[in-house]
Amino acid sequence: MRRIRGIIVLLIAIGLGYIAARTVSHYLTRPRIQQVQQVKKAEPKRSKEKKAEIPKGMRIVSINADKVSGLSGKLKKGDRVDVIATTTLPGNTRSAISRIILSDIEVFDTCFSPATQSKGLFKKSNSQCISLILSPSQAAALEAAAQSARISLALRNDKEKDLESTKEISSIYSGTTGTEIINESIRPTPWLIPDGMRAVTIKVRDIDGICGKLQPGDRVDVILSCPLGIFSTQGGNVAPGTEGKVTEFHVVSKMLLQNVVVFATEKSAGTQASPDSPPKKITLLVSPDEALMLAATRDTTEKSKLRLILRKPSDRQIEKTPTVYLTDLLVGRRLSKRVFVYKGLRHEMVTFYK
């Protein structure tokens, strides 16, 4: 009898313990469930409110800024800023150029990045996420610049009107010459010429490139076309006034230069007569040897002509191309070789074709 009573008491104790555990568990978990439900209900409402604040036709683009580029975390919603992009100069890693790429931009929102954990300790993050209100074209420009440049923000006076154009203003710093303010809309800066290169301006035609549309940064090949006459003189004398005869006359085309960068055009230099007209002059970036080749073809005779053919920007391959003679194209022959035939004191060139 006593044993049965003990079993009954034990069962009652187990039942009461189970009920107490369920009660405590329900009490502890119920507030968390309600909190999660409240957050889930509140998030869509907050998201809709944020989207409603975006002006029509505009976009929100976020960038990460440190204490220096983000003005020590002092930026707030509604501030207006200029966006500055800084890169090194071509061929000179010790010099830099800064450009104002966007002007008078409104800050949509700011927030600090979450704290980071290092060796078990939480450290406050110095990175601030800044959201800007941009047009689609401005958003694309900022994204392109952010891939290769360091982005910084400059705070503006809220009441300041953009009375002068600051987007074309750039500043160059060099350890040897210090700081120089330039306006790239007036003239391309010589600072952007890489070390060891030269800028040479040549005349072009309205059929060069794609229907005469060439712009800075394009890569072109330069074709030289010119007349070529072969003379034979008595005794091989080439002194001025010596009589001779033309043994051959050709119109020749040759690939003079390949993979040349267009540095500037009349439009980018501000000297183009009409914005819609194709440029008549462009400036190429070439080596000193290539500059001599261009000078020899342009300055020695007016009968030679240069033609620019546009190439894919990523295609840097240098192709081996033959010199083309117009007569060979017309008669369907290919040049085999040329030799000089000497007869006493006279000599002449003989051409052999395949």
- For 334-347, letters b (16+ CB in 10 Å) and e give ebeeeeeeeeeeee
Residue 219 pLDDT class (50, 70, 90 cuts): very high
Q: What pLDDT sits at residue 182?
A: 73
The span from the CA of 171 to the CA of 144, in Å, is 20
pLDDT of 262 strictly over 70: yes
Comparing 21-35, 223-237, 333-347, the range with the smallest average pLDDT is 21-35
Mean pLDDT of 310-337: 81
Residue 1 scores a pLDDT above 70: no
With 90 as the cut, is the pLDDT of residue 292 above it? Answer: yes
CA distance 108 to 62: 9
pLDDT tens, position by position, 84-97: 999 988 777 778 88
Between CA 73 and CA 130 the distance in angstroms is 10
Higher-scoring residue by pLDDT: 40, 338: 338
Pairwise pLDDT comparison (214 vs 240), residue with the higher score: 214
Q: Is the pLDDT of residue 161 over 90?
A: no
Does the pLDDT value for residue 199 go beyond 90? yes
Calpha distance 234→348 (Å, rounded):
10
Higher pLDDT, 141 or 186: 141
Total-model pTM? 0.55
Kindly provide the b/e burial profile for residues 208-221, where b requires at least 16 CB atoms within 10 angstroms of the residue's own CB. bbeeeebebebbbb
Q: Using an 8 Å Cβ cutoff, are 247 and 339 in contact? A: no
Mean pLDDT of 196-216: 86
